[in-house]
Structure 1
């Protein structure tokens, strides 16, 4: 090749070009942003509408259905679902992956604007919001100390939050769990009645007295001065002494009819760390920013704040960057170890430090060059890109091994350095180019894969492609140039060094024996072709059969050392009752030494809460110690047993996994959607399904999302009776709200903070139902009546929420799985549900993670078929034959069988990552067959008889084939072992490649020559 000749003739030029490439790569590496996964947006948007005081069925008919029908016409939409609850409609629109969400949300707003004029009067304008998966908190911290929670809250809001929000990359800081102050004005309704004052009048007086207003301008000489009238409250005593004008003309101080105190607002949420009250701090990063760098800046700022305020204790509970750094370090260590193992194999085969170093240059040069390609394509340094490099490390030297081994053979035959470099490279150039193209080609079909699978693995495919193309360039330029300069062959010195080195001598002796065995096996197989093919078929069948007990899942769960305990009490439970249950949970976790930190939030619905009261809910996040032997999954199982006998609460324990991010947002592992129209019948069916699923081995924490009736006090106003007293429904409703809940009459400014002045009746009327019935209502005639005279006060079950999917009502039954794979559990559930008699008009489908699994497997199956076709086309063009490529393609089923055997031996499941490994195998395993068949053809062109050419070519190509196989296998071995954080995702991929490569190599050396003769005979018959 001209390029090779140029490299040999112009070594200085090649060295300079290589140095420039390395320099660009190093600079690119320093500029590459680091993250856990590739950046992408989730194609989901929601439309939220408030219509206060309206039940879910009315919300469904008046708001949700019209909006659903309008939104359903938006382009690229995949599914529309909704939740209609008391006073609220939430519609979730899911789009196809790859949809531009900016344009999609704009089109949604247009459709909503067209329909909002037809929505009922009183309904708020619908809001269209995009869901950003990158908006999840990158850091959760707690603030505690000797001060009370109110002081800590003010410190967090006034000092901590502004300083963090100023940092580059920080989007927002949420503070939760503290006390907020308010001025409580509790009026005595009987005294107000005696003085002839209403609650509305009192609220107006408080608001009117606490004002500062502009008064225009006044001239003073040549100046215009602004006028400002001030009358704001200066202290609480001034509020107590506020003069209240009576209808009779006199005045009384506010304290005569009301108690005025500075109090804490009613607590709606509680945060604790290791059982102690604290303030929770949640930090979100800006979309598209680098998680690691943002986290680093936050940690640096928190350290400064801690030094400035030593009495406050700031503790980072969850930091996403920790797992990212640990995962990336794991991949880097695995890659480095794989490279070292590959170099050792090279040295054992080549027996020369110079030749080893020549081939060894392919690894660092190819990787560093890849960093430049990654940078200029806008790809981040993440678990997928680094995993791609680690997976490719063993393959990076394959081309260089084949080239150098051939150059080395020519040197041993007496050719000069330059001649050996040119002739040796030219002879195998087409073979290594074809083998590289076949490996690269198998990644092209991933472009056609849709959904989260494509988004996550596209960058891995690009990284492997970049690195292999770089290694091809190195093998055809740098390797022959270095060989022409420093490759020395001295057979006498080699023999002396082997005698001196026991390891080299033993290795050569072992290889010679292996070569002798291979010659005999090859000779026998050529003479017993039918027997060889039958043996290969038996091995293939048994290996494929090993997949039966393996099972399948979507993405392997990662052990990140975190777990979450979700506590749900019956709807309507008070915060204090929830706190009691949580304290019981915390006490049971105290004796588990493996737990480092327990972070508790009571009364919070979480990041994706759709609103409503959450005082009955709590979340306990546990962080395990880094130095531990037990897995998080085992710890979670122990916790389930400890908490199993807590009565009156629904408690779920989950292992937290952020590694795949939105990849795991498809719902519970088992999720069955039941559709129909009658809510009562749907509830009955869902209860039956819960019982059926609970009977399946491996299912855990089975539940239905059918809304539980909310106990509430209903004030049913009799409009006829109310009109007799001159009252309207609005007047009565406002009177009840102002007495029980209170109204914010004004705001009091002190020390730069604004505090609500809340006016309400005393607590007497909210203590029990009888007192509420006697709540006094002022009439326009100046008299006072009790509430029960115009309304029926009773306890009822409030309406449930209504879930819809594809414009049909739906109930979902969810389940987690334990100690079984998803595929086998789903199979057992489907068998049991087949016997269930489901009436007409009702249907069910299995969604959740299983739906993602089926979609991903379908897409990857198509990619697998396309990869096989592309590889065949490349082989056909290389060999100028339509028949010979079939010989080589026999390695593909053998490799897939080997991958299946690898999963069986390691007890790993078939999942998305292992299927990606199978696709990679198609491009890798044909390389050995290409090198072998290409050399057989070369010898036949030189005049050798077919069988003789095979018997000579096989042993000669045995060394490079074993070298390339072992370097790839050992390069992947550290990843396949799966040690360290984040390795669970890459390990199945590496396992499939190793298993497939080992089995296919063994059979390639024997079966492919046999198949070559079979197809050659067929070709001769056609020619005749």
Structure 2
């Protein structure tokens, strides 16, 4: 996969030099890149979230990133203020200035310059010009231009009145110039930057910390280390609350514990079955000792193979727990037979093991030959089952060695010579049952056919799925509003939905953690897009007796169905393994391939409508559904060319007018804030009246050279083999 990624990057690298392409990234999807833990941070002590953001950014974030195995700790919520210089276009025009002039003056005043070096006696001095801005007041009092002063105008008038007594060629005094400050052409304020994410915990706006682990680090160990440090942070910052809302290690630990318990009970049941049939505590103990000894030997081989104790390796041990005693049973049975024939314990142990050595070797290697080829399987199956195959192979080889060495040794010490009674009770019962079956062949055949038919019917009734889903007490509600919805509106809906979930769940709901807007963890996830019109609510249920997730989802869905223009999707909390297996993607996906875009759009809508009528399918979406509203500027090419304008310069001027331009940073109290120079927010009705200056000095408006029209852009553009695709996706009930 790495070579394929490099090949794609080389091919796509030629397009990165295109001027119309800002950035071109080719990355490999990695479910391990998802955060292993999320922590909500709240505090009533700080006046606003900006102060809390500063404390987290300077105190908590560096500390967590310094922990072993932690790759990064990303702050969610981006509640950070910036310094905005809001210019007045009329004042700029009155003073003969432009926004570019203001940006240049701020940039020139906000830098440190080196003035060379002075050497005197034995000392050398570095000359520096310290010009960094440190306060908003300094920005307001920054000189950005000059204008004619009132005193100069008055003196000029007086001189004109007394001009009769003055020589015509006399020199005039220089004109008095008055500086123009930033505060003269606009206002400087400190306010929140344009937010892309809003985070809430139980309806209260807060910040979040997403913990990402290093590629080769253990999820469990990283999360445990982070949680330990969080406990210390609670002591160091008593006024700040830390709430763990997502914990991937909890699911892994629970799964590993279940597998460990299954392996233990499996080994215990195997020993119990042995005692039931052998009816001898001594023989059962000899065979039972083969299980822990074989497992210890398996651990040794796993260590040299660099295998870890995880779900797959422990599953291999649980799978091999019953097979570990197979070889020991064969050896001990033959030793027991030798003892009944009169041999002494040492001779019975030696000859009993040697008699069946070739047979159990062939049997073990036969089983090993089934699992060993899995080690060489490539792709997803190989990644999943390679460690399990190695574990089973190691356990079987260990059981063979234990059966040929440890079992005969213990048997020679514990077993004693016995005589055969010839006709034990078990043999009489077995012969009686066998004779009964042979005397009624037809009845036996009919029972076999009936049993096979019942088994087949029961197999058809069992639900089938790739990865089982279980109620782990945590599920997500993905809510989507119509494309183009603002983040503030999405946040209000998220707050309303969160409070509704808490009311419906009552004591069953522990926490509701919502993330509205752009989610960095889901930017590259095509199946779960994020944006200002989407919010994700992570609902954690309380421990102990409670309603199931299915019951909670049913109650929530009934309420959300009454909210218009709202689409909801429900997902169980899933691990990175389920992400690798595609459990996060919609299970029902249909693609229509064609060249005509209009026909493709129509067929996709018709097929989507038919699928939506099926009762077993919900959340049906198409790739043409709900595009982002856009404003297309239909430029008048003749007018643009007549005034010496270009589309590139127009777009650049328009971008500065709408979003502003960052002129630098202001550093204070160990924090850096952007200085953004721009204008007041423009409404849709004011778009046509935006001023456009030409190189010849002409003043135009955007409406003079363009015809803005609101259209619906595509939500996504899909291609396969260079052909357009219309995709329909849906979720099964």
Deviations 1:960-1012 (A, max 9, x none): xxxxxxxxxxxxxxxxxxxxxxxxxxxxxxxxxxxxxxxxxxxxxxxxxxxxx
Q: Is the 8 A contact 1:116 1:125 kept in 2?
A: no
Tell me what 1:769 maps to: 684
Deviations 1:247-291 (A, max 9, x none): 654322221210111222122210111111111111111112111
**C-alpha distance in 2 between matches for 1:550 and 1:449:** 29
1:721 is the counterpart of 2:639: yes
Distance 1:159 1:294, change over 3 A: same
**C-alpha distance in 2 between matches for 1:167 and 1:333:** 32
1:585 is the counterpart of 2:503: no
Tell me what 1:568 maps to: 480
Please, which of 602, 611, 619 is the counterpart of residue 684 of structure 1? 602
What aligned pairs does 1:632-651 form with structure 2 within 5 A after superposition?
632-651=549-568
Tell me what 2:390 maps to: 462
Please, which of 363, 367, 375 is the counterpart of residue 435 of structure 1? 363
Distance 1:338 1:613, change over 3 A: closer
Distance 1:560 1:278, change over 3 A: same
Tell me what 2:85 maps to: 185
**C-alpha distance in 2 between matches for 1:799 and 1:519:** 78
213-222 or 145-154, which deviates more: 213-222
**C-alpha distance in 2 between matches for 1:159 and 1:483:** 65
Q: Is the 8 A contact 2:64 2:226 kept in 1?
A: yes
What aligned pairs does 1:370-409 form with structure 2 within 5 A after superposition?
370-409=298-337
What aligned pairs does 1:779-928 form with structure 2 within 5 A after superposition?
779-782=694-697, 784-818=699-733
User: What is the CA-CA distance between 1:561 and the residue it aligns to?
Assistant: 2.1
Distance 1:378 1:403, change over 3 A: same
Distance 1:721 1:198, change over 3 A: same
1:604 is the counterpart of 2:525: no
**SS of alignment partner, residue 74 of structure 2:** strand
**C-alpha distance in 2 between matches for 1:415 and 1:670:** 68
Deviations 1:476-496 (A, max 9, x none): 11111111111136789xx9x
**C-alpha distance in 1 between matches for 2:332 and 2:415:** 10
Distance 1:633 1:123, change over 3 A: same
**C-alpha distance in 2 between matches for 1:272 and 1:120:** 41
**C-alpha distance in 1 between matches for 2:465 and 2:307:** 28
**C-alpha distance in 2 between matches for 1:437 and 1:309:** 61
Distance 1:199 1:801, change over 3 A: same
Distance 1:243 1:697, change over 3 A: closer
User: What is the CA-CA distance between 1:564 and the residue it aligns to?
Assistant: 0.8
Aligned pair count reads 696
Tell me what 1:970 maps to: none
What aligned pairs does 1:225-374 form with structure 2 within 5 A after superposition?
225-246=125-146, 249-374=177-302
Q: Is the 8 A contact 1:572 1:711 kept in 2?
A: yes
Tell me what 1:482 maps to: 410
**C-alpha distance in 2 between matches for 1:171 and 1:527:** 73
User: What is the CA-CA distance between 1:781 and the residue it aligns to?
Assistant: 4.5
**C-alpha distance in 2 between matches for 1:792 and 1:537:** 79
1:194 is the counterpart of 2:94: yes
**C-alpha distance in 1 between matches for 2:712 and 2:612:** 28
How high is the TM-score relative to the length of structure 1? 0.64
Q: Is the 8 A contact 1:385 1:463 kept in 2?
A: yes
Tell me what 1:712 maps to: 630
**C-alpha distance in 1 between matches for 2:248 and 2:631:** 44
Q: Is the 8 A contact 2:301 2:394 kept in 1?
A: yes
**SS of alignment partner, residue 590 of structure 1:** helix
Gap regions ≥5 residues in structure 2: 149-176
**SS of alignment partner, residue 769 of structure 1:** coil
1:652 is the counterpart of 2:569: yes
Q: Is the 8 A contact 1:605 1:617 kept in 2?
A: no
What aligned pairs does 1:689-704 form with structure 2 within 5 A after superposition?
689-704=607-622
**SS of alignment partner, residue 343 of structure 1:** helix
**SS of alignment partner, residue 272 of structure 1:** strand
Tell me what 2:54 maps to: 154
Relative CO higher for 1 or 2, CA cutoff 8 Å, sep ≥ 6? Answer: 1
Deviations 1:187-245 (A, max 9, x none): 11111111111111122122222221112212222333222112222321121122232
**SS of alignment partner, residue 36 of structure 2:** strand
Deviations 1:356-401 (A, max 9, x none): 2211111100111111111111222110110111122122122212
**C-alpha distance in 1 between matches for 2:343 and 2:524:** 78
Deviations 1:411-457 (A, max 9, x none): 23432111222333334334433332332222234356554233212
Q: Is the 8 A contact 1:152 1:178 kept in 2?
A: no
**SS of alignment partner, residue 127 of structure 1:** coil
Q: Is the 8 A contact 1:566 1:653 kept in 2?
A: yes
User: What is the CA-CA distance between 1:116 and the residue it aligns to?
Assistant: 3.7
Q: Is the 8 A contact 1:707 1:801 kept in 2?
A: no
Deviations 1:11-44 (A, max 9, x none): xxxxxxxxxxxxxxxxxxxxxxxxxxxxxxxxxx
User: What is the CA-CA distance between 1:663 and the residue it aligns to?
Assistant: 1.6
User: What is the CA-CA distance between 1:800 and the residue it aligns to?
Assistant: 4.6
**C-alpha distance in 1 between matches for 2:558 and 2:304:** 52
Distance 1:581 1:429, change over 3 A: same
**SS of alignment partner, residue 215 of structure 1:** strand
Q: Is the 8 A contact 1:207 1:746 kept in 2?
A: yes
**C-alpha distance in 2 between matches for 1:645 and 1:786:** 45
What aligned pairs does 1:964-975 form with structure 2 within 5 A after superposition?
none
Please, which of 674, 677, 683 is the counterpart of residue 756 of structure 1? 674
**SS of alignment partner, residue 352 of structure 2:** helix
Please, which of 624, 627, 645 is the counterpart of residue 541 of structure 2? 624
Q: Is the 8 A contact 2:635 2:705 kept in 1?
A: yes
Distance 1:375 1:430, change over 3 A: same
How high is the TM-score relative to the length of structure 2? 0.88
User: What is the CA-CA distance between 1:464 and the residue it aligns to?
Assistant: 1.5
Distance 1:636 1:431, change over 3 A: farther
User: What is the CA-CA distance between 1:465 and the residue it aligns to?
Assistant: 1.7
**SS of alignment partner, residue 424 of structure 1:** helix
**SS of alignment partner, residue 672 of structure 2:** strand
**C-alpha distance in 2 between matches for 1:761 and 1:689:** 47
**C-alpha distance in 2 between matches for 1:186 and 1:389:** 68
Which one has the bigger helix percentage? Answer: 1
Q: Is the 8 A contact 2:112 2:130 kept in 1?
A: yes
What aligned pairs does 1:130-169 form with structure 2 within 5 A after superposition?
130-146=28-44, 147=46, 148-169=48-69
Tell me what 1:997 maps to: none
Distance 1:297 1:736, change over 3 A: same
1:614 is the counterpart of 2:531: yes
Distance 1:317 1:538, change over 3 A: same
